[in-house]
Amino acid sequence: MADSSDERKRKAARERKRLSRANAAERRNSLGLSRVEIELPKAVNDQLEFLRHARGISGEAYTPSEYIKDLILNDAKQYQSQIAALGCCGKCKSPLPDGCEGTFQGDSECWRTRQSKELLL
């Protein structure tokens, strides 16, 4: 009789956990959030832990999600500034970063030959 009761408890716990996960996913979706999981080497994770505490000006550390979100937003701003400053390609005179889309890549006057690397992280 105890085995049957234990099994019912485990089954009920599994169902509660399933519902909890479904509710959490629904909440994330309703807020427009997506979940991203990353694996970091220990040295990088140690840097993340140090920096999220060091950058917490108010004395409270950023959460890993807040810190990574802010890094992405800051990089997006920097990228937009870089794109705005590009102008046109010296070879094809087309607006950058698309330019000739690689038609003249390798030509010394083509932006893609050398300067395109400036957009890399």
C-alpha 118/C-alpha 121 separation (Å) is 8
Please give the tally of structural domains in the chain.
Answer: 3
The predicted structure's pLDDT at residue 1: 55
C-alpha 42/C-alpha 48 separation (Å) is 10
Q: Based on the domain organization, do 12 and 26 belong to the same domain?
A: yes
Q: Based on the domain organization, do 74 and 94 belong to the same domain?
A: no
Q: What domain range includes position 9?
A: 1-35
Q: Based on the domain organization, do 76 and 63 belong to the same domain?
A: yes
The predicted structure's pLDDT at residue 12: 86
Q: Which residues of the chain have pLDDT under 70?
A: 1-2
The predicted structure's pLDDT at residue 2: 59
Q: Based on the domain organization, do 49 and 75 belong to the same domain?
A: yes
Packing angle between helix 42-54 and helix 64-84, nearest 10 degrees?
90
Q: Based on the domain organization, do 69 and 95 belong to the same domain?
A: no
Q: Based on the domain organization, do 43 and 80 belong to the same domain?
A: yes
C-alpha 111/C-alpha 90 separation (Å) is 7
At 38-66, the pLDDT tens digits run 999 999 999 999 999 999 888 799 999 99
Encoded amino acid at 86, one letter:
L
The predicted structure's pLDDT at residue 76: 96
The pTM of this model reads: 0.69
Q: Based on the domain organization, do 72 and 57 belong to the same domain?
A: yes
